[in-house]
Structure 1
Amino acid sequence: MSNLNLQAMYLRDEIQLSVGQCSDKGRKERNEDCLGFVQPEGNLLTTKGAVAVIADGVSTAEAGGEAAEICVREFLSDYFDTPDIWTVGKSAQKVLTSINRTLYSRSHEYLSSTRGYVCTLSLLVIKSRTAHLFHIGDSRIYLIRDGRLDQLTEDHVTQLNKREGCLSRAMGMDTHLEIDYRPLEIEPGDLFLLTTDGVHDSLDPETLLRLASSSGELKSCCEALVNAAYRAGSRDNLSCQLVRVDQLHDASLDQLTEQLTALPFPPELEPGMKIDGYLIEEELYASSRSQLYQVQEIESGERWVMKTPSRNFEDDAAYIERFIMEEWVGSRISNDHVVRIHIAHRPKTFLYYLMEPVEGVSLDRWMKQNPIPKPALAIELIKQIADGLKAFHQRETLHQDLKPSNIMVRPDNSAVIVDFGSVFVAGINEIFVPLKRDRVLGTLNYSDPVFRLGQNTGIRGDMFSLAAITYELFTHHLPYGNGLENCDKPQQLQKLAYIPADRHNPIIPVWFDRALEKALAIDPSQRYDCIDRMMQDLTQPNPEFLVPREAEQKHPNALLFWQLMSLVWFMIALFTLIAFWLK
């Protein structure tokens, strides 16, 4: 059994749903509503969930019906093709943005403004123990729980007068998609009702509740709702869906632990020993949490690095889950500056995983060997580490323990991130397990200090680590000295003062130092919000950062003057400073 199969087994979702649906053209000539439901099996149900979707083509747009069909068909197809490491929110938003762009483009292929691809859309994604609702327009999603009907969505309608209104938001209406999103914890017995306005505009809430929750098959209930709306005089298309949560996955901690420990930990390995067709050649690293060995595949002769869990945690389910996740995450990240995971195709008898060997030395050792690196070489290393880190963030994964010892520098001076031991995967965190997940705080002098106080700052935390490494690479010091070591309260953090990098290395330009200061701000809201902006300011002089720090501190009113002067300096600095600094 491979490690990845083990992962699929212990996170297997056994949620059981019932569904019924009905759609009719009513008194109109054709039906411009569209609906659909998909409940996949296996890993897809676990990582992506089940999806119900309903769309209503806008009658004033000639292609409204086609737009509704495109939305339903494309979403049910493309959503399940998004990376299984992504959250429901990111997956749905990416797919919906693409569909909206398609609809808007098709509308503008025609000279007639009446041929518009515009429709409403309401989506229900049920993953693990959470319902994720996405909504735009005036179709609706209701929840029936404990005999009560609650409308979960808000109609996006602008009222023109007492009787008439028009849609203020819809799919295909604008290039910018503004869609409502709401997560909701679910319970067994929950009944979700999705309707188009032909149904809910004709029936009062009491009737909706009575017919939707009446005994019988859900399909019959949907037909009863459609028929009742027709008899009530509805002149629109009539569509509705019912999705009932029959059973949720309810594994106990003992059951989960049994699944996680299906593969035993390897024994203490020594050179010459063999395990699953691999010859142990030498131990490369050992700590209280794991070991690394150089191994050779006996059959092929290929060499790999084997990572094994520490026997100190044989009974720790949270630790085992995190170890399994390392291989699962690593196998989904492909980047030249992130170590490649080797997926073994033969059955495993122990818990471990394999990585490509990376020649070279760790960055902390490289810095000792290169105490005064050329600025161009140093910044190139940082750009490569940043590129690897971006590969994590593109998969909605936080590294959370970026530090020099987790980065290898090859003989050609290229950098590789080689550790996944502290990653946080947003998509996996959405899946319920009956245990308190292992929370690794990272390394003291490099990890985001507010993270240790319980605040998860997302990618800003990883960028803090990257900036701390950059600071050390250019100065051989830490940005707050040893100040972070004794900070375990917010008041202590507030007293910390950033140490300007040019105090340790006088050739560091002011714009470079100011960019580091921004990235290393104790207050996360003062930092950069993406890696690209941070790297731009580290490689190109930002005019705002050419203002001397002393001028801001001593003469706050002179800031505007210095900013204007910076515009003059910028063109000169752009050529001279970069040439001096990076060549």
Structure 2
Amino acid sequence: MNTSAPVTAAGWTLDAGEAAGPEAQEFRALYRGEDFSAPRRGLLALVTRGDSAGGAPDEAAQVAARLFAEGFFGGLATLSPAVAAARALSSANSWLFRQSRADPQRLGMAASLCALACPASKKLLIVHLGETRAYLLRDGRVQPLTTDHLRPLPSGAMVLTRALGLDREAQADVVEIDARPGDRIILLGAALREGNLDSPPQTLAENLAKSGGAAVVVDIRDVAAPQLDDLAADFADLPIRPPPQEGDTLDGFVIGRTIYRGQYTLLKRARDTVENRDVALKLPLPAMAQDKVFHAGFLREAWIGARTRGRYMADYLDLPRARRSCLYLVMPYYHGQTLDARLKQAPPVSLAEGAGIAASLCDAVEDLARRQVVHRDIKPENIFLLTSGAIKLLDLGLAALPGLENVRDELGGTTRYMAPELFRGAAAGPRSEVFALGVTLYRMFSGGAFPFGRREAFPLARARPDLPEWLGKIIAQAINADPNARFADAAALRDALEHGLAHEDWRSPPKRPLNALMLWRALAGALALLCLFLLWRR
């Protein structure tokens, strides 16, 4: 993309210029997220340089740029730009590393990379490894943003210590910049030489490329200031209408019975006559329009559900925009029941059954964590047990998205499952999720009782003396009031449960045998007291 006109991307307004250097082993590019169906990723500018000591240096430079861009824009929308960049870098490095070992024509194939990301955030991101360079020009001063990853040899020659394809794992330097209007970022395939740096971006890029290698120049006109509503732009313009009744038809869905009714939402079974399938429709009730927090949560659930897929998440089905006449969500109709319904049934959840549910639930929370999603409302009502034995996490309306810094989060969750630190203003994270998991597991095994009274915590053994002692200790650690005393994350909780199942006794604590001598002494003492009482009465 070679442009002298302003570029708008993810809330940024930029001027950009690019130019090729004199060497074929250098490559430069400007990519827009909207060209990859990822508009919130904004603009990506980069310069790559193939290692001349390795095979196919020109190919290495071009492939490194393309793979990194595809990985960055193709990453999950819930990921922070830094995490998306790290994963893209790892993927590109793996491909180059394999090729440099498997193909004789590409032996030693490696590439330096320096990238500037302008995502939907107020911060710019610089990713760098190798001998490409980035500079910040601010208020007339030039500031290097990168350091070359080079090591001198005894001969005086310099060799790369970091590059894509050089090692099995790639280590990059990542720099975040609080951008200001008027900032200029310069990416180069070689060192910056002194000279006039005030030319227009395209002119400066061409001048720098003549003597300093491939060049990209980006000027910041306006800093991005995206709003929370951007997350749900696809759904925000849809009206909230009175819910349909059983037998009605809505957008090709024949409405069936009510599955669940809450204060703000209604879950209905329906038949999709267009796709010939059974579905569940989650419909907002008119009262939601008056509650901005719940309305935003419903839109957020729609946004997250449309962009993340996983074996433990309820699937959200896509509908053509022309088919949808009002706001609602569409999910497959799952056969099974919620954990809340199960824990109210006889017999109580056994150790074997509960351990299977607990392991899957921990895996589900970790799967969300890898996507940088914090559920924030884990409880039996939001856990669906499929008849196949699998589970699905429901209701992402209160989910936090720590990877997207511009998303403002209100205090969210169900009070009796919320970790104490959340009420003191702490951000939700892995340890607060562990607390909610602990309360949920306690309720699952106890038959619905909560672990806390007004003044004290109730050990699991009080509700289920038939369960092993180690299980109660694990749950007690998960619901510890001190977050640092809890398991670090759901994976650590799962590991503790698996260790208990593999190495501890499954049986309940043995009851103390009766001591015959103590029993006779107690009886004798009671008889003596009775005799004294009778004598006193006389």
Q: Distance in 2 between matches of 1:253 and 1:382?
A: 34
Deviation at 1:242?
0.4
1:117 equivalent among 93, 109, 114: 109
Alignment of 1:128 with 2:104, yes or no, is no
Alignment of 1:470 onto 2:445: no
- TM-aligned CA distance change 1:280 to 1:107, over 3 Å: closer
Unpaired segments ≥5 residues, structure 1: 1-11, 231-236, 484-495, 543-572
Which structure has the larger Rg over C-alpha atoms? 2
Give the 3-state SS of the residue equivalent to 1:283 in structure 2.
strand
AA partner of residue 463 (structure 1): V
Question: Is 1:314 the equivalent of 2:307?
Answer: no
Shift of 1:341: 2.0
> 1:540·1:578 contact (CA, 8 Å) conserved in 2?
no
> How do 1:522-533 residues align onto structure 2 when only pairs under 5 Å count?
522-533=481-492
Counterparts of 1:252 and 1:334 in 2: how far apart (Å)?
24
CA offset digits 1:54-113 (Å, max 9, x no partner)? 12334444555543333113212333332333332222211211222333344445899x
Q: Does 1:36 align with 2:14?
A: no
Aligned pair in 2 of structure 1 residues 264, 108: CA closer, same or farther (>3 Å)? closer
Equivalent residue in structure 1 for 2:465, among 506, 514, 520: 506
Classify the secondary structure of the residue corresponding to 2:505. Answer: helix
| Partner residue in 2 for 1:220 | 203
Q: Give the drift of 1:44.
A: 3.1
How far the C-alpha of 1:533 sits from its partner, in A, is: 3.6
Matched, 1:370 2:346: yes
State yes or no: 1:347 paired with 2:344: no
Match of 2:525 in 1: none
Question: Do 1:13 and 1:45's aligned partners in 2 also have CA atoms closer than 8 Å?
Answer: no
For residues 150 and 261 of structure 1, do their structure 2 counterparts lie closer, same or farther at Cα, with a shift above 3 Å needed? same
What is the RMSD of the two structures over their aligned residues, measured on CA atoms?
3.8
Give per-residue Cα distances to partners, 1:99-147, cap 9 Å, x unaligned. Answer: 22333344445899x9533332211111124312111234222222343
Q: What amino acid sits opposite 2:203 in the alignment? A: S
CA separation of 1:253 and 1:324: change in aligned 2, threshold 3 A: closer
Q: Measured at CA, do residues 138 and 523 of structure 1 come closer, stay the same or move farther in structure 2, by a change above 3 Å?
A: farther
Tell me the equivalent position of 1:74.
67
Aligned equivalents of 1:318, 1:143: Cα separation in 2: 40
Instruction: Say whether the 8 Å CA contact 2:182–2:220 is kept in structure 1.
Output: yes
Shift of 1:410: 4.2
Amino acid of the structure 1 residue aligned with 2:16: V
State whether residues 142 and 149 of structure 1, in contact with CA within 8 Å, keep that contact through their aligned partners in structure 2: yes
The equivalent position to 1:577 in structure 2, one of 505, 510, 514, is 505
Alignment correspondent of 1:137: 130
TM-score when normalising by structure 2 = 0.79
What is the alpha-carbon distance in structure 2 between the residues aligned to residue 498 and residue 286 of structure 1? Answer: 32
Give 1:52 shift.
1.0
Distance 2:231 2:462 in 1: 54
- 1:78-93 residue pairs with structure 2 within 5 A? 78-93=71-86
SS at the partner of 1:540? helix
Within the alignment, does 1:424 sit opposite 2:417 as a pair? no
Residues 334 and 340, structure 1, Cα contact 8 Å, conserved in 2:
yes
Structure-to-structure mapping, 1:439-450, within 5 angstroms: 439-450=410-421
Q: 8 Å contact 1:333–1:392 — kept in the other structure?
A: no
Q: In structure 2, do the counterparts of structure 1 residues 337 and 253 end up closer, same or farther at CA, with 3 Å as the change threshold?
A: closer
CA distance in 2, matches of 1:32, 1:579: 67
| CA offsets 1:227-252 (integer angstroms, 9 cap, x no match) | 4xx4xxxxxx6222102234456689
1:414/1:37 CA distance change after superposition, 3 Å: closer
Q: Given that residues 280 and 331 in structure 2 are in contact (C-alpha distance below 8 angstroms), is that contact kept between their aligned partners in structure 1?
A: yes
2:533 maps to which residue? none
- Matching residue within 260, 269, 272 for 1:294: 269
Q: Match of 1:388, SS?
A: helix
Determine whether 1:324 maps to 2:299: yes
Checking the alignment, whether the CA contact within 8 Å between 1:38 and 1:76 is kept in structure 2 is yes
Displacement of 1:502? 3.2
Deviation at 1:402, TM superposition (A): 0.8
Query: CA separation in 2, counterparts of 1:292 and 1:497?
Result: 37
1:425 is paired with a residue whose SS is coil
1:537 to 463, 481, 496: 496
Partner of 1:18: 15
Partner letter of residue 262 of structure 1? D
Cα distance in 2 between the residues matched to 1:60 and 1:415: 52
Give the Cα separation in 1 of the matches to 2:104 and 2:323. Answer: 61
Corresponding residue of 1:486: none
Q: Are 1:305 and 2:233 an aligned pair?
A: no
Q: Distance in 1 between matches of 2:240 and 2:18?
A: 49
User: Residue 425 of structure 1: CA displacement?
Assistant: 3.1
Partner of 1:520: 479
Per-residue deviation, 1:481:
1.0
One-letter code aligned to 2:423: R
- Is the CA contact (8 Å cut-off) linking 2:442 and 2:451 kept in structure 1? no
- What corresponds to 2:513 in structure 1? none
CA distance in 2: counterparts of 1:289 and 1:252, whole angstroms: 24
The CA deviation string for residues 510-541 of structure 1, in whole angstroms up to 9 with x for no partner, is 44334334433333344434434422321233
Q: Does 1:100 align with 2:96?
A: no
Distance 1:43 1:465, change over 3 A: farther
* Contact preservation (8 Å) 1:471, 1:479: yes
C-alpha displacement of 1:376 = 1.1
Give CA deviations for 1:477-520 in whole Å, capped at 9, x if unaligned: 7675135xxxxxxxxxxxx9765433443343344334334433
Aligned partner of residue 528 in structure 1, secondary structure: coil
Letter in 1 for 2:346: N
Aligned to 2:514: none
Q: Deviations over 1:185-236 (max 9, x none)?
A: 3344432111233x32xx24xx3xx32x22x4x2221222244xx4xxxxxx
Q: What pairs up with 1:90-239 in 2 under 5 angstroms?
A: 90-109=83-102, 116-129=108-121, 130-157=123-150, 167-197=160-190, 199-200=191-192, 203-204=193-194, 207=195, 210-211=196-197, 213-214=198-199, 216=200, 218-227=201-210, 230=211, 238-239=213-214
The SS at the match of 1:397 is coil
Q: 1:107 to 1:579 in 2, by over 3 A?
A: farther
CA contact (8 A) 1:468 1:478 kept: no
Helix, strand or coil at the partner of 2:267: strand
- Unmatched runs of 5 consecutive residues or more in structure 2: 1-8, 510-538
- Pair 1:136–1:447, CA change in 2 (3 A): same
C-alpha distance in 2 between matches for 1:84 and 1:358: 26
Q: Taking structure 1 as reference, are residues 22 and 462 closer, same or farther at Cα in structure 2, changes over 3 Å only? A: same
Q: Given the superposition, is the C-alpha separation of residues 335 and 242 from structure 1 closer, same or farther in structure 2, using an over 3 Å criterion?
A: closer
Q: Percent identity of the aligned residues?
A: 24
Pick closer, same or farther for the CA change 1:461–1:257 going to 2, 3 Å: closer
Shift of 1:404: 0.6
1:451 aligns with 2:422: yes
For residues 250 and 93 of structure 1, do their structure 2 counterparts lie closer, same or farther at Cα, with a shift above 3 Å needed? closer
Instruction: Map Cα deviations across residues 368-426 of structure 1 (whole Å, 9 max, x no partner).
Output: 21352222112122233334334423332221101011123345655332222211234
> CA 1:177–1:514 in structure 2 vs 1: closer, same or farther (change >3 Å)?
farther
SS of 2:325 mapped into structure 1:
coil
* 1:318 and 1:437 in contact (8 A); partners too: no
CA distance in 1 between counterparts of 2:327 and 2:97 reads 51
Report the TM-score, using the length of structure 1 for normalisation: 0.74
Cα distance per residue 1:130-180 (max 9 Å; x no partner): 31211123422222234333322334345789x886544333333232212
Q: Partners in 1 of 2:451 and 2:129 — Cα distance?
A: 48
Q: Aligned partners of 1:478 and 1:180: how far apart in 2?
A: 50
1:385 aligns with 2:377: no
